[in-house]
Structures are given as C-alpha cells and as structure tokens.
C-alpha cells in the first residue's frame, strides 16, 4: 500500500514546491490543449471533410465528459487518495493525447476527446485539493495564485504557440507536443512524491446511483444550453434541472454521498462562493468568442491581429494572479474575489458601448480591466471555497468548483449563441449581417453585465456569526 501522509502533516518545502510545480503544469497543459484545439479545427475539417456541427463536438465532448464526472471523481479522490487520482488522471490524459494524433476519422477523435475529458476530470478533481493540503493557510493564497497564473498562461499561449505548432507540423503535431508535456507532468509526481498521499476513511459503499444520476442530469443540462433555442434544448434543460433536483434529494439519504448536501445548506461561504464562480464564468467565458467575432467581422482584423488584441487581457490575468493570491492570504479571500468580480462588471459594461469605430485603445483597456478582474477573482474564490470545508471534503470541494467553472463556460457560450441565433440567425455571417452582429454582441454583454453584478452579491456573502455555519 502506498504510504500516506497524515492529514495534519506539513510537507517539507521541497515537496510543497514539487506539488505546486506539477499542479501548475497540469493546469497549463490542460488549458493549453483546450484553447489550442480550436485553432486546429479548420485543418481537421479539411482532412476529414467534417461538418461544422461535427467539428463543434471536438471541444464540446471534452468539456461535457469532464463536467459529468467531476463530482463523483472528487469523492473518489477523497477516499482513495488525492495524489493517486491526480497521477492516474495525468496518465489517461497523456496516453489519449498521444493516441489522438493517430485518429483515422473525426468520430474516433471525438471518442478519444471524451476519454481525455474523463482523464482531465481526475486531474481537476484533485489538483486544487493537493495545493490546499500541501501548504499552510498563511502561504496557501500565494500558491493558488501561482497555480491560476499557470492556467491563464495556458489560455494565453494556446492560440499563439498552438498556431505555430499546427502551422509547421499539422494538427496531429499539437497532440504530440501535449503528450510529451504530459509525460513530464506524470513522471514528476510519480517519482518525486512517492511517499506523499492524503485520503479519508471510507464510511460506506461508494454512491454509484447518485454518481450516475448526477452525470446524466448534468450532461442533459449542459447539452440543453448548447442546443437552445430549439425545443430539444429546452426539454434537455428541464430534464437536467429535474435530474439534479432528484440527485440532491437522493444525496440527503445516501450513506456516503457524492455531495454532502449540508455543505450547500449550512455552509454559506461554500454555497455562495460556488454560485459566484458559476455566475462569473457564465458572464465572462464567451467574451473571447464575442470579441473575436467583433474584431474580425465588424472591424475587419485578420485572425492573427485579433488574437494579439485579445491576448492583452489574458496577459494581465497571468501577471496579476500571484499578487491576488498573496493578497488573499492577508485579506478575507471573498472580499478580494468580490472586488475582482466588480472589475469584471466594469469591463463587461464597457463592451456594451462598442461601435463600428470604437478606438482600439478603448477595447484593449476594457480587456485589461477584465483581465485584472479575472486575476483578483479566480484564486481568491478558490481559496474561499477550499478554506470553508473540512479536509475530508477537499476533493468534493475541488470537484464542485471545477464543475461550476465548466458549467459556467457552457452556459456562457449557450447564451451568446442564443442571442446570435435570435438577432442574426443561424446562417453564415455575411457583410449584410454586420449591423445585427454588433447588436447581438452589445445585447450579450448587457446580459453578462447584469449576471456579473449578481455574482458580486453572491461572492460577498460571508459566514454566519450565530454558530450555525460550518465555516469561519
């Protein structure tokens, strides 16, 4: 049996550093893959002659698979070892990335993306918990800030480095590079952290029924947002909401639930911080998609120039995330996160007033405001969520905030697509549609501004002071 580090033990500084390195590299590789694959879609379409709808499943299958199993996998990591689940996730992610480079058809590639999403879920469910367990409270925020910086760096470099790789060695080369990085990422913890592990005592049989119900219900909900405003999309959302309600009812009766419902009912910080995370990603994730359309269609920029404009905001995110993490060590994390979301409100509101001749300095300034807001929201809100639960629930907490992030991303794209479908239509965008496209961009940002303002209120909710809450 693998040796286990007691939950109260403090790791040696070199082991803390290694945990931070491997989790940050994992965040970088996963987001780099997620952002770079979109650049490869035209070449994949050219080789396999796939339709636009089929191509859309290449990134979507990954997100859906990861989101559908994150919560059950979080509980598994609590019971069977956070580092073990993390290392297995890296192994699956890496092997499947290598196999994807040899895909003979787009259908096989989509299936492999599903499996890669399952591997990514093993990583997402445990890597934040590993940082929380490895670092003491006084330096935890700084570590989380550096980790978030790695994630944002992957998002920043994905389109740029991914484009260089794809341009020179083809779309299959992207999977070669990612699998090579994955081997390094897997080998480091397997070699350097052999004697480190955290797990919790098993109280009862694993909740298989709750896990299946959760996976099916969340999949239906996220697919529904992808297919709005059609009737099928509405039906799937209704089924998903009903299924998640049934899941929560079942979890109150399960002997060892996948999600301890008391965390939502009695822990205000946990519940409202997760709600703020969902709202933040629902309000902001589609920004890059919408601004890419605006810059290329309305303003006539080529993809490369548009990419250089958009990367300014992401660069600010990566640069200021460590600072935000250190600040969260000294000030209440939820207050820092609320300030970050307030900046996001200002940035989104600024985009409501975009026009056909808006100065580029204004666009870049709003992108930087949003980037600063993301930086001061992301790591502090993670610190607030993870610090609000007992150590035996860290895997579930990590999985919950990961699920909120992925669900918010899906909802954001669904809302933006819905507005485009209503205002512009589902046909290919032509010069005659540019005024309607600009209108849909403004409407979307107006909706996102209101959503984000609600998120500020959610992130400000603090612990009860009457002794009822489980957090402090």
Q: Do domains 11-193 and 263-463 have the same CATH topology?
A: yes
Q: Which pTM was predicted? A: 0.76
Lowest-confidence segment of 164-178, 353-367, 451-465 by average pLDDT = 451-465
Most confident of 102-111, 282-291, 415-424, 431-440: 102-111
**At a CB cut-off of 8 Å and minimum separation 6, what does 319 contact?**
149, 375
CA distances from 464 to 338, 384, 389 (A): 18, 14, 14
pLDDT tops 90 at residue 439 = yes
How many Å apart are CA 471 and CA 315, to the nearest integer?
34
User: Among candidates 191, 250, 260, 234, which has minimal Cα distance to 418?
Assistant: 234
Q: Where are the domains of the chain?
A: 11-193, 208-259, 263-463
Round the average pLDDT of the chain to a whole number and report it.
Answer: 81
Burial environment of residue 357 by CB neighbours within 10 A (0 to 12, 13 to 18, 19 or more)? exposed
353-400 tens-digit pLDDT: 999 999 999 999 999 999 999 888 887 887 778 778 777 777 777 778
Cβ atoms within 10 Å, residue 385? 31
Secondary structure class of 320 (helix, strand, coil): helix
Task: Kindly indicate whether the domain formed by 11-193 is annotated with CATH number 2.40.30.110.
Answer: no
What was the pLDDT predicted at 90? 92
User: Among candidates 227, 180, 211, 307, which has minimal Cα distance to 60?
Assistant: 227
Q: Nearest 5°: CA angle at 293, between 46 and 303?
A: 55
Work out the average pLDDT over 124-153: 80
- Dihedral sign from CA coordinates of 454, 459, 463, 465: negative
How many Å apart are CA 470 and CA 390, to the nearest integer?
9
What was the pLDDT predicted at 56? 66
Lowest-confidence segment of 103-107, 115-119, 137-141 by average pLDDT = 137-141
Both tokens of residue 81? 């070892």
Q: Which CATH entry fits the domain spanning 263-463: 2.70.98.90, 3.40.50.300, 3.30.70.20, 1.20.1250.20?
A: 1.20.1250.20
Cβ atoms within 10 Å, residue 439? 13
User: What is the secondary structure of 190-243 as a DSSP string?
Assistant: HHHTTT--------SS--HHHHHHHHHHHHHHHHHHHTTTSHHHHHHHHHHHHH
**At a CB cut-off of 8 Å and minimum separation 6, what does 100 contact?**
109, 112, 113, 116, 175
**At a CB cut-off of 8 Å and minimum separation 6, what does 361 contact?**
none
Lowest-confidence segment of 43-57, 342-356, 446-460 by average pLDDT = 43-57
How many Å apart are CA 248 and CA 387, to the nearest integer?
23
How many Å apart are CA 105 and CA 50, to the nearest integer?
9
């Amino acid at each position: 049996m693998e040796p286990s580090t007691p939950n109260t033990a403090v790791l040696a500084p070199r082991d803390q550093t290694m945990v931070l390195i491997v989790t940050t590299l994992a965040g970088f590789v996963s987001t780099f893959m997620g952002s770079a694959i979109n650049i490869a879609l035209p070449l994949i379409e050219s080789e396999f002659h796939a339709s636009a709808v089929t191509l859309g499943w290449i990134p979507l299958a990954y997100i859906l698979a990861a989101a559908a199993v994150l919560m059950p996998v979080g509980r598994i990591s609590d019971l069977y070892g956070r580092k073990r689940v993390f290392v297995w996730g890296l192994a699956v992610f890496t092997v499947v990335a290598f196999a994807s480079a040899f895909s003979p058809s787009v259908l096989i590639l989509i299936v492999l993306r599903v499996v890669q999403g399952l591997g990514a879920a093993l990583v997402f469910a445990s890597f934040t918990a590993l940082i929380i367990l490895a670092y003491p409270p006084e330096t935890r925020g700084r570590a989380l800030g550096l980790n978030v910086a790695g994630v944002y760096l992957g998002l920043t470099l994905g389109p740029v480095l991914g484009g260089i790789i794809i341009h020179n060695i083809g779309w299959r080369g992207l999977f070669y590079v990612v699998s090579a990085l994955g081997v390094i990422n897997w080998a480091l913890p397997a070699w350097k952290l052999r004697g480190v592990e955290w797990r919790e005592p098993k109280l009862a049989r694993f909740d298989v029924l709750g896990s299946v119900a959760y996976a099916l219900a969340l999949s239906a909900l996220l697919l529904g947002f992808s297919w709005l405003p059609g009737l099928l999309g509405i039906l799937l959302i209704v089924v998903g909401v009903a299924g998640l309600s049934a899941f929560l009812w079942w979890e109150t009766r399960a002997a060892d639930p996948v999600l301890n419902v008391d965390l939502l009912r009695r822990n205000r910080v946990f519940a409202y911080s997760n709600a703020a995370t969902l709202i933040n990603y629902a309000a902001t994730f589609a920004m890059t998609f919408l601004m890419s359309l605006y810059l290329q269609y309305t303003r006539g920029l080529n993809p490369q120039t548009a990419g250089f404009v958009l990367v300014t905001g992401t660069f600010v995110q990566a640069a200021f995330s460590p600072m935000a993490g250190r600040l969260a060590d000294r000030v209440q994390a939820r207050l820092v996160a609320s300030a970050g979301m307030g900046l996001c409100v200002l940035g989104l509101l600024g985009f409501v007033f975009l026009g056909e001749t808006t100065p580029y300095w204004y666009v870049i300034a709003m992108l930087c405001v949003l980037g600063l807001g993301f930086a001061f929201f992301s790591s502090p809100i993670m610190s607030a969520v993870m610090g609000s639960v007992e150590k035996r629930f860290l895997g579930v907490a990590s999985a919950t905030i990961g699920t909120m992030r992925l669900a918010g991303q899906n909802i954001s794209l669904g809302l933006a697509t819905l507005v485009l479908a209503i205002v512009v239509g589902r046909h290919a965008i032509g010069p005659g549609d540019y005024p309607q496209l600009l209108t849909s961009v403004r409407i979307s940002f107006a909706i996102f501004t209101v959503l984000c303002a609600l998120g500020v209120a959610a992130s400000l909710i603090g612990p009860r002071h009457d002794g009822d809450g489980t957090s402090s």
